[in-house]
Structure 1
């Protein structure tokens, strides 16, 4: 079951893990609230798991432009 990490802002794929068994504690999912899990983790019909994250470029843009946090989308 592939775990596919995608940037929530630009949509670029950040990484991919191929695991038969997923240890959610080692991935840090236990640190997320139930709402955060619903927002960030999507289970696909084909067995893939898509995880919303942030890429380095978008993180850097947010650090240099803090007002971007107010916007739903800052990549156009």
Structure 2
């Protein structure tokens, strides 16, 4: 089982954890609301978990262009 962190905007793989057993509370999943979990976490058929986060480059771009927060995707 892998936990794969990908940027929700550009699709860049931010990181990957290869573990057989993972305590999701150690990853902070228990701090998310149900809506945030639905938006951010995708469970794959092979047991992998994909997390939609924001990479440093996209975070910096959002900092320089705050109006981009209104858009679902700002990278075409």
Give the TM-score normalised by the residue count of structure 1: 0.96
Residue of structure 2 equivalent to 1:9? 9
Residue of structure 1 equivalent to 2:27? 27
Residue of structure 1 equivalent to 2:50? 50
Give the TM-score normalised by the residue count of structure 2: 0.96
CA distance in 2, matches of 1:32, 1:62: 22
CA distance in 1, matches of 2:48, 2:40: 14
CA distance in 1, matches of 2:45, 2:21: 17
